[in-house]
Copies of this chain bind each other. A is one copy, B any other.
Amino acid sequence: MLNELIANQRRPLLIVISGPSGVGKDTVLQRMMERQLPFHFVVTATTRAIRPNEVDGKDYIFVTRDQFAEMIEQGELLEHAFVYNDYKGIPRQQVQQALASGRDVVMRLDVQGAETIRKLFPEALLIFLTTQSEVELVERLRLRRTEEPENLKLRIATARQELKRVDIFDYLVVNPDQRLDNTVDTIMAIINAEHYRTHPRVVQL
């Protein structure tokens, strides 16, 4: 029995990093990638336009709406959502291959996407990034300045709703401004610890 339990601990985890718009999910994922951790970071498929400095296949897989529709039809997406006028989806095969190779899979998802993954794979590891308070979250969204006024209002309303969904997540990590490396250290401790559970989360894809 001991051998079996120890072997189970080496099986890869399906890890979702989520949280409301404005908490800094992208920055946290970016720093995790910079550290060259032995994870597979999922590259999301999206219908939105490529931005300057973005690389197709690295930052996102950029597809047309027709291509995206085809991916849905063929069941090629693990989950997908319509967010802020664009479609985003997680390529199923990419995740399967990474898990088969034994690597932990890390994906960034909005709260809606995380909820879908929780329903499909109850054994996924869900980490919720948040600010210290709702006030701080709104403040951060305002400071971004990249938004049209009507978009900002929509994002704030959505973020407030998303904060209320924290209950379905396994871990809650506050991501304070200027302390990005602490946040990444905490996420690493969580992933590390999860591999030592007597009964680790084993995902069947």
Number of copies: 2
Interface residue A6 (Cβ < 8 Å from any Cβ of B)? yes
Interface residue range, chain A: 20 to 34
B169, B174, B189, B197: the one within 8 Å of A171 (CB): B197
The smallest beta-carbon distance between A82 and chain B, in angstroms, is: 27
Contacts A169-B198, A197-B172 given; indicate if A133 touches B3 (C-beta within 8 A). Answer: yes
Contact residues, A159-205 vs B (CB, 8 A): 163-164, 166-167, 169-174, 186, 188-190, 192-194, 196-198
Pick 17 A–B contacts, CB within 8 A, sort by A: A2-B166, A6-B132, A6-B172, A6-B174, A128-B198, A166-B198, A167-B198, A169-B198, A170-B198, A171-B196, A172-B196, A172-B197, A186-B193, A186-B196, A190-B193, A190-B196, A193-B194
